[in-house]
A and B are shown apart, each in its own frame.
Chain A
Amino acid sequence: MRRALGWATPILSLVGLLAVWEWAVGARILRESFFPPPSGIWQQATMLYASGGLAGHVAATVARLVAAFLLAALPGVAVGLLTGLSATAREAFDPFVAFIYPIPSLLYLPLAALVLGPGELPAALVCAVTPFFVIALNTALGVRSIDRPTVEAAVHYGATGRRLFQKVLLPGALPYVLVGFRVGLGLTLIVLIAVEMVSAKQGLGALLWQSWEILRVRNMYVGLALIATLGVLVTSGFDAIARRLVPWHQGPARSTRRP
């Protein structure tokens, strides 16, 4: 009974709100021009999809998200491993952390756009800056969290180079790396939507901004619903992967770490 209540309540809660919303618009308690009914938003979404525009916006955002995340994750893990292992590397990396990381990376867009010219590269780079640091810092923390005797024992038994990395360092740091990935993905999405709002023709952020400029409120709700869905899919999908990869680690389920 208690368990049934546990999963039924959230669903009832969501469905209930949508029903009340729909009813309140019908009863003219909510203004339709500001709060179009859920059924109307759904209709608008199917219409936008049928006319061919919507899939392109979704594809553009997903492609940029993947590209920016890879741009952040690959160098992030590499730099993290390096700075986790070597004090010299950490000291060399520190000024970058102090100077570049604290600035919200959207503000690097003008510089990136001026230097790299128009195109997709500046947008992806700008979105990758903050997650790169988050992933690198978390990875370094993960490497340092591995207990020293374990590493020494591995070295003693002849693990060096690639094997040391594959068998000891990566599995040891993995829970932290995954936290970095998760937080990094969320931050990538924030900056990406903002970048699309100011400088893209395609993408969900662009859809939002264009709908604002011509005051198409329904399109705006469609864009918001899709961005929220994307966010939920990315985080829950990511959690599922993380649970399979590090089943031994009961990671901080939804708490985040942004050092």
Chain B
Amino acid sequence: MAGLIAGLAALGLWELLSRAGTLNPLYFPPPTVVGITLVARATGGDLAPHAAATLARLSLAFGAAALVGVPLGLAMGMIRPLRLVLDPYIAALYPLPKIALLPLLMILLGVGEQAFVLAGSLTALFQIILNTYGGVTQIDPVLLEVGHNYGARGLALFRRILLPAALPSILTGLRLGLGLALITTIAVEFTAAKSGLGHLVFRAWQTLAAAEMFAALAVVGVIGLAITRGLLCLQRRLLAWQQTYEWD
């Protein structure tokens, strides 16, 4: 509640300073102007198609990364030789910002959606693999032994013990992966793509359309907020048995 008041106060101050000219309205148009632009562009203009383009890329990138990353991470966690073979590549490529791969991907795949989506997808993929196999390898061995002694083998051991024990870490990986995929997707749009919210901000920069830029930023902010806070709430709900979670 106090946060809401502080936020509104900040917006009010911005409005005043911008109207008074203390803040250059060319760069910082008053929030009311941004709001009007936002509504006008969202209903009649191209804001909605650009937002749809970003969301489509993001969901494709994230979906593919999750489909590949979770099974691969689980396999790496359970099969030691596989882990030993793949670990050096993960260690070498995880710290590499995947946006750096974009130029190469555009040469290999052509300048198009495949390259754009793949850059975002790779970003999420490494995070998801790391957290998934970390979740499996960090399971308390006693837990597995107990399960084994009670007769859990094969699929039962996997479903009843391994998966639930690794689940918190897997969900964290998915959440972080989605956040990182958003960063890369926006960067791809900002640098190379000709559509999407990232491109809209870039275009607004080139044409000095500050109100349009803030409107696009606001939409990105809502998406980002949904990813950072919304998914955290979802994770807490899914993992109700975990008393404390990393972010309270």
Contact = CB atoms under 8 A, between A and B. Distances in A.
B39 interface: no
Contacts of B102: 197
A238 to B, nearest CB: 10
A92 B6 contact: yes
Contacts of A101: 224, 228
Interface in A1-32: 5-6, 9-11, 13-14, 17
A6 B84 contact: yes
15 contacts: A14-B88, A91-B2, A94-B6, A99-B7, A102-B221, A104-B224, A106-B183, A187-B183, A190-B99, A194-B187, A204-B100, A217-B107, A223-B100, A254-B134, A255-B130
A220 B107 contact: yes
A221 B100 CA distance: 10
Contact of A190 (B10, B84, B97, B201): B97
A115 B27 contact: yes
Interface string B4-42: 101100100000000000001001000000000000000
Interface in A197-233: 197-198, 204-205, 208-209, 211-212, 215, 217, 220-221, 223-224, 227-228, 231-232
* A: interface residue count bin: 35 or more
Interface in B74-102: 81, 84-89, 91-97, 99-102
A115 B27 CA distance: 7
A17 B87 CA distance: 13
- Looking at A115, A190, A256, the one whose CB has the most chain B CB atoms below 10 A away is A190
Contacts of B232: 259
B61 to A, nearest CB: 14
A50 interface: no
Main secondary structure of the interface of B (DSSP, over half): helix
B163 interface: no
Contact of B93 (A190, A193, A228): A228
B103 A13 contact: no
Contacts of B233: none
Contact of A9 (B24, B84, B99, B246): B84
Interface string A99-111: 1011110110111
Interface in B106-154: 106-108, 127, 130-131, 134
B88 A256 contact: no
Contacts of B191: 194, 197-198, 209
Given A98-B3, A224-B96, A13 B84 contact: yes
A95 B10 contact: yes
Contacts of A194: 97, 99, 187, 190-191
B213 interface: yes
Nearest to A144: B248
A205 B3 CA distance: 38
A190 B202 contact: no
Given A91-B6, A211-B103, A102 B183 contact: no
Given A98-B225, A104-B187, A259-B228, A231 B220 contact: no
Contacts of A193: 97, 99-100
Contacts of B10: 95, 99
Contacts of B217: 103, 107
